[in-house]
């Protein structure tokens, strides 16, 4: 998920449980309102339904919606996976980089959500894949086997399985961490080291449940980078990841004091004279083995918006300023 990830929002743990931690500001707040405020992707009625069905617990105890919060309590919320009975095909043009009978690799544009979800039932990459290849059949259903993700505003290469054979081959490589995943990222500030590794666990930020953070309770995450080009106050990096935690690259680079340019969640800087409306992060290369054992390595050039930023920086016509 960036990276192999999704947009900021609800992240389901392996057991589907999200933990929330009330603070002094939440003292006396009703349980249903508190959970709805902390998890805005869930409607108030959905939250009340989860509470009534016992999927919301306070310190392990089932409580009523009107239960009042106290700092120091732990609220656990069991979020069932979204029930999407059918993915409908959408005839959206795709930049197909590679395709055979088992797999397809697409250069995803920024702004496209990968999977249907509440609020994004149509117009996603999955919808577009079904229109492009109506014969897709994975797990006995007409669904593409998407084994990794990119954030909505991250562009670049993403692979999906068209058959069970393709999905099994991809999943096994992701589990072995043998897939090559390379990104280009423009970060704030000048990085002196030519290359480095960030090895720090990533998990949900306990202070802001809509963000990820480096946290001791998080899952292991390893990011490597090398400097490609330095500008006046920014650095272009080539980044590779061993793991695929939610927002991993964005979190790790912000953690070392060099957030990605244009990142509204983890960064505090912006282009002073930009054409950039998203984070400067692009999945530029992807390497894996096809089901027949053949090695495949693909590249995707920078899209026009990111290339324009680099040209401005090289010409000295762009700089950075604090965003507040």
Q: What does the alpha-carbon distance between residue 37 and residue 76 come to, in Å, rounded to a whole number?
A: 14
Question: Do 17-78 and 96-322 agree at the fold level?
Answer: no
Mean pLDDT of the 64-93 span: 84
Would you say residue 87 has pLDDT above 50?
Answer: yes
**pLDDT band, very low/low/confident/very high, at 169 (cuts 50, 70, 90):** very high
Helix or strand holding residue 253 (H, E): helix 248-255
What's the Cα-to-Cα distance from 190 to each of 51, 186, 247, 287, 314, rounded to whole Å?
A: 49, 10, 22, 29, 15
Q: What does the alpha-carbon distance between residue 95 and residue 9 come to, in Å, rounded to a whole number?
A: 27
Would you say residue 7 has pLDDT above 70?
Answer: no
Residue 6: per-residue pLDDT: 35
Place of tokens 């998203």: 278
Helices 44-52, 31-38: axis angle to 10 degrees equals 130
Place of tokens 């919301």: 56
Fold of 17-78: 3.10.290
Mean pLDDT of the 152-161 span: 96
What's the Cα-to-Cα distance from 39 to each of 36, 119, 188, rounded to whole Å?
A: 5, 14, 30
First vs last C-alpha separation in the chain: 28
Q: Which residue, among 88, 84, 104, has the nearest Cα to 96 in the 3D structure?
A: 104
Q: Which residue, among 186, 159, 201, has the nearest Cα to 263 in the 3D structure?
A: 186
Residue-wise pLDDT for 31-75, tens only, equals 998 998 888 767 778 888 899 889 999 998 999 999 999 998 999
The answer to whether 161 and 167 have CB atoms below 8 angstroms apart is yes
Would you say residue 230 has pLDDT above 80?
Answer: yes
Would you say residue 90 has pLDDT above 80?
Answer: yes
Would you say residue 324 has pLDDT above 60?
Answer: no
Residue 221: per-residue pLDDT: 93
Residue 211: per-residue pLDDT: 84
Residue 14: per-residue pLDDT: 36
Domain segments of the chain as ranges = 17-78, 96-322
* Catalytic site residue from 4, 26, 107, 151: 151
Q: Between residues 52 and 226, which one has the greater pLDDT?
A: 226
The DSSP string of 69-124 is P-TT--EEEE-PPP----PPP------EEEE-SSEEEEEEPTT--SS-BTTBSSSS
From its phi and psi, is residue 299 left (phi > 0), alpha (psi between -120 and 50) or beta? Answer: beta
Residue 205: per-residue pLDDT: 84
Mean pLDDT of all residues belonging to the chain: 86
Residue 57: per-residue pLDDT: 93
Percent of the chain surpassing pLDDT 70: 86
The DSSP string of 182-194 is EEEEEEES---SS
Q: What does the alpha-carbon distance between residue 21 and residue 207 come to, in Å, rounded to a whole number?
A: 8
Residue 13: per-residue pLDDT: 38
Buried-state track 125-159, b at ≥16 Cβ within 10 A, e below 16: bbbbbbebbeebbbeeeebbbbbbbbbbbbbbbbb
Would you say residue 269 has pLDDT above 70?
Answer: no
Fold of 96-322: Pseudouridine synthase (3.30.2350)
- Does residue 151 have an active-site annotation? yes
Q: Which residue, among 61, 96, 98, has the nearest Cα to 76 in the 3D structure?
A: 61
Structure tokens at 50: 């989860």
């Amino acid at each position: 998920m960036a990276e192999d990830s999704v947009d900021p929002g609800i992240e389901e743990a392996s057991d589907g449980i999200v933990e929330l931690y009330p603070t002094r500001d939440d003292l006396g707040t009703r349980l249903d309102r508190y959970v709805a405020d902390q998890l805005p992707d869930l409607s108030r009625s959905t939250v009340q339904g989860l509470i009534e069905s016992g999927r919301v617990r306070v310190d392990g105890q089932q409580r009523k919606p009107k239960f009042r919060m106290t700092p120091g309590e732990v609220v656990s919320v069991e979020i069932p996976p979204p029930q999407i009975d059918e993915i409908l095909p959408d005839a959206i043009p795709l930049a197909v980089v590679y395709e055979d009978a088992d797999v397809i690799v697409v250069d995803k544009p920024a702004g496209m959500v990968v999977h249907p979800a509440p609020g994004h039932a149509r117009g996603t990459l999955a919808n577009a894949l079904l229109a492009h290849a109506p014969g897709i059949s994975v797990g006995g259903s007409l669904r593409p086997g998407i084994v990794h993700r990119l954030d909505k505003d991250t562009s670049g290469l993403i692979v999906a399985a068209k058959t069970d054979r393709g999905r099994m081959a991809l999943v096994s490589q992701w589990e072995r961490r043998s897939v090559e995943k390379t990104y280009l990222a423009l970060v704030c500030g000048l990085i002196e080291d030519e290359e480095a590794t960030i090895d720090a666990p990533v998990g949900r930020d306990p202070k802001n449940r809509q963000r990820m953070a480096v946290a001791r309770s998080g899952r292991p995450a390893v990011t490597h980078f090398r400097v490609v080009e330095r500008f006046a106050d920014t650095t272009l990096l080539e980044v590779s990841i061993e793991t695929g935690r939610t927002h991993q690259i964005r979190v790790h680079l912000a953690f070392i004091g060099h957030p990605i340019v244009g990142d509204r969640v983890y960064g505090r800087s912006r282009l002073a004279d930009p054409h950039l409306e998203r984070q400067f992060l692009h999945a530029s290369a992807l390497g894996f083995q096809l089901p027949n054992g053949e090695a495949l390595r693909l590249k995707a050039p920078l899209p026009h918006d990111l290339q324009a930023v680099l040209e401005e920086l090289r010409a000295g016509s762009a700089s950075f300023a604090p965003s507040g």
